[in-house]
Amino acid sequence: MKTLSLAILLLIHPVHVSLTGMEYDGVNRLWSVFVKVWTDDLEADMNLGLSDGSEITGNNEERFLKYLSDRIIILEDGMPVRMELLSATADGLEHRFTLQAAGKRGLRSVSVVNRIMTRLYEDQANMLLFSLDGIEEGHRFTVTDTIKSFKVK
């Protein structure tokens, strides 16, 4: 009975949300990023392919990195940074990813784009916890609000 209840929850969970955390270490010029998403939503969104319409190919780690790099973008002074996937774990209900990216010195502005599952659900909410040089903010991305900019002190 517990297995049946869990299976039903997986198929119809009413919350369409992801969580992303980003922290910038200015001394080492390194972005640390974590992402947590529901497994069934992740699979459905990955099946849609990349934003340009191309298919997501490769082994699991390559596919996850292509997907995450397409849906989450960090722009330093308008230029995208290149992320690398450090870990991908799953427990059956959710996937958790850890990524990192090299940053640059002398940042004036940072913009974050988050389009996780925005093509799947009209009520999708992508929560961001952001930390950079004394800036600590939370932001809620939606289907119509997929970019947030931060001025660097």
Q: What is the pLDDT along the chain (153 residues), one digit of tens a residue?
A: 445 444 444 455 567 899 999 999 988 999 999 999 999 999 999 999 999 999 999 999 999 999 999 999 999 999 999 999 999 999 988 999 999 999 988 888 999 999 999 999 999 999 999 999 888 999 999 999 999 999 887
Residue 108 lies in a domain: yes
pLDDT, residue 95, reads 96
pLDDT, residue 133, reads 81
Residue 119: enclosing H or E segment and its boundaries? none
pLDDT, residue 5, reads 46
pLDDT, residue 148, reads 97
Q: Please check whether residue 29 is in contact with residue 100, taking contact to mean a CB–CB distance below 8 angstroms.
A: no
Residue 6 lies in a domain: no
Residue 54 lies in a domain: yes
Residue 11 lies in a domain: no
CA–CA distance, 103 with 108 (Å, rounded to integer): 12
Residue 2 lies in a domain: no
pLDDT, residue 13, reads 53
Q: What's the number of CA atoms in the CB half-sphere (13 Å) around residue 65?
A: 14
Q: Please check whether residue 148 is in contact with residue 126, taking contact to mean a CB–CB distance below 8 angstroms.
A: no
Domain coverage including residue 144: 16-151
pLDDT, residue 26, reads 87
Residue 34 lies in a domain: yes
DSSP letter, residue 5: H
Residue 82 lies in a domain: yes
DSSP letter, residue 112: E
Q: Please check whether residue 110 is in contact with residue 74, taking contact to mean a CB–CB distance below 8 angstroms.
A: yes
Residue 1 lies in a domain: no
Tally of structural domains, the chain: 1
